[in-house]
Chain A
Amino acid sequence: MENPKPVKVALIGNPNTGKTSLFNQLTGLTQKVGNYPGVTVDKKQGSCKLSATKTAIITDLPGTYSINPTSVDESIVLKSLLNTGDKDFPDIIVVVADVENLKRNLFLFSQVKDLEIPIILAINMADQIDRKGISLDVETLQKELQTDIVLISARKNIGIDAVKKAIENCAEASITQPLCSINHKIDEDYFEKLKEVSSNHTLYELWLMITQNNFPATISEEEKKRLLEFTQDVSKVKRYQHKETIHRYKQINDILKRTYIVDHSKAKDLRSKLDRVFTHKIFGYVIFFGILLLIFQSIFDWSTAPMDFIDATFANFSEFIKINMAPGVLTDLITDGIIPGIGGVVIFIPQIAILFLFVSILEETGYMSRVVFLMDKIMRRYGMSGKSVIPLISGTACAIPAVMATRTISGWKERLITILVTPFTTCSARLPVYAILISLVIPEKKLLGIFSLQGFTLLSLYALGFATAMISAFLLHKTLKVKSTSFFVAEMPNYKLPSLKNVVFDVLEKTKAFVLGAGKIILAISVVLWFLASNGPQSYKDVEQNITENVAYKNLSSGEVQQKIAAAKLENSYIGIMGKSIEPAIKPLGYDWKIGIALISSFAAREVFVGTLATIYSVESDDENTSTIKERMRAEINPDTGEKMFNLPVGMSLLIFYAFAMQCMGTLAIVKRETKSWKWPMIQLFGMGALAYLASFITFIIFS
């Protein structure tokens, strides 16, 4: 009989086993292999045609060593396997295992098997069996584990059809029984009592609910109450969990003794040789900092051309619309709100993609784990973990993916500190602000005859960002009272050549996530800012009439009159009023209300500063030529002193302000999501704001 309903299949396995490769092969969708920052955190699904009449919906669950979660990613696995009532609850589970470390992979298999869901074991990298000196008795193993076993090589597309076949057959057969009877071996009475709580769940499910304090919707209030009684004796639960683990390994050892033999003399050399170089006390750091330099260099060098191209394209597109659409509010919204808003996001794609390219390659090869190993002790002095290095590097492109990359840090305090200090690293949004201010106030001199003073200033700002991140991490480490069991374990995967396909898909996916995630916020705020800048009370509406009728402007050309109108309109718009109202507060820093407007609008994204000033200094918005903006800014006179507005004190004060202030709604939103509280983003906003204010004030005084 034909079954119209697709089978639901979940893929589960240790990190670095090629689980996502198998997912790619089965579904034709493009995902990634690896376990580092934020990968596979969202539920990934795809469909797969099993035969002429049958299809399967396949879910790729995050990589994990055990059903018992220690991180956000891993808890997704537990949730999806416990929710028997959920519409996505799998009919079949495919456990993907690496042939090289079968023992540890089978530990996870043994846990999943006890959930009594139909199960298939896919042993990956089967093509390596001979090379690694492994001999495997599949038939006996199949019998002992009471499961179908498929040998695959996901990267090489070997055995994929066999997996499909097994899924199809499994859907028909579906006989399940636990592999490891935990009750007999640990405490029979205890588990007998536990089993009586609910007849709708297997014993192991109930046990997981107790150990993980996770009660799915299928558990009634009455049952939950009885389960909670079991959780009272914490040390007993913990002891039994330990016993369970040992028991499982014992059983797996017994089985593998009869079915799996490894000749250790083969192929062990390369790893230790490379490890000796990459973790060497001198070369290790030299290589790491060399790679860092290469990354930064590439981010700046390679991204200039595409960024200029994007900038020009959006400006031209905006111009094109302006010419071809009837003038009006809608056209203004599109040309001055939406298009620059989208452009403001797209402009970062080159830098972010280049950064992710490097990070992805470093992860794929296994090198990143060596960096974690090298840096852990150093980072720990600052209350962070070796795993904090990746977010801090990513932060130089954008803090948003960097904050998401902290998920792999298992200690809550270490993770929180990393999240809190990451926005201090100089993200690419600060770069346009730094660039224009430096070119305005720092003279084009050479330092010691070789280094350009302007370049040196930029470098100092980067160093300042890192230093501030580390210092504030240290202070947070000493002052934060957060309950956290810091526990560190990092797997050191074998070195391998990066797969081009995996790297490309990874970069695409992460860039897409940034554009969609951060982009929405930046776009929304750009539109709001456009509205605030192009609307105002009655005085705003009178501007045009007042200026055209003003005798003083009689001799001006129509272009100049238009500029005067634009400037006066901005002054009287809602955002102009906001700028004026904060003027008393920012006066001590050397700023006027116009800079105030730029500061307010920078909350969408810092680089908006340049565009806003362009508008304020009545440069026509379609001509975003930096030199023009620069000239306008240079010509701006401070009415109080009669001197140049953008002199050294104001410029330096602004540079310091932008280095420290938390002017990024996108980051605040992501920090809220990752810390599940408004408390931490607010601490960032006000803490960094206060620091920025104070530091800018001092800077202004020093340079005045």
Chain B
Amino acid sequence: MNTIATLLKGETGIISEESLDVIPLKLLEMGCLPGVEVELLQVAPLKDPLYICVNGSHLAIRKEMAAQIKIIKS
């Protein structure tokens, strides 16, 4: 199963619809929505947090959160 956490640096994926319930409202509001493309830009030196670009927003989120957001790799 692919999640944002399984993306490699530079890879992109589409956030799957079933992730809707696990994404916190704040993240949704910042543009991290189902059906949207997400790109993993950087990984912090200790493999956590992850630096992503989603819907034009550049965000750092923790791996534990990223691992809950399922994606379809593109």
Chain A residues in the interface with B (C-beta under 8 A): 65-66, 68, 70, 100-104, 107, 238-239, 241-242, 245-246, 249, 271-272, 275-276, 279-281, 284-285, 369, 372-374, 376-378, 380, 386, 487-494
Contacts and interface: CB of A to CB of B under 8 A. Distances in A.
Contacts of B27: 489
25 contacts: A68-B26, A68-B29, A103-B56, A107-B29, A107-B31, A242-B21, A242-B25, A245-B33, A249-B31, A249-B55, A275-B51, A284-B45, A373-B42, A373-B44, A376-B49, A377-B46, A377-B48, A380-B62, A386-B49, A487-B24, A488-B61, A489-B27, A489-B30, A490-B49, A490-B59
B3 to A, nearest CB: 16
Given A245-B33, A376-B60, A488 B45 contact: no
Interface string B1-28: 0000000000000000000110111111
Nearest to A487: B24
A488 B65 contact: yes
A491 B42 contact: no
B60 A489 contact: yes
Given A101-B57, A238-B25, A489-B61, 20 more contacts: A65-B29, A101-B56, A242-B21, A242-B28, A245-B33, A271-B58, A275-B41, A275-B42, A279-B42, A280-B45, A373-B51, A373-B60, A376-B60, A377-B46, A378-B46, A386-B49, A487-B26, A489-B27, A491-B59, A492-B58
A492 B28 contact: no
A246 B33 contact: yes
B20 A242 contact: yes
Contacts of B61: 488-489
A68 B25 contact: yes
Contacts of A275: 41-42, 51
A238 B60 CA distance: 24
Q: How large is the interface on B (under 10, 10 to 19, 20 to 34, 35 or more residues)?
A: 20 to 34
Given A242-B20, A492-B58, A492-B60, A374 B44 contact: yes
Secondary structure of the A contact surface, majority rule: helix
B29 A491 contact: no
Nearest to B17: A246
Listed from nearest, the 6 A-B pairs whose CB atoms lie closest are A281-B45, A377-B46, A66-B29, A492-B58, A490-B60, A245-B28
Contacts of B20: 242, 246
Contacts of A284: 45
A272 B39 CA distance: 13
A635 to B, nearest CB: 54
B51 A489 contact: no
Contacts of B45: 279-281, 284-285, 374
A238 B21 CA distance: 9
Contact of B56 (A65, A104, A271, A378): A104
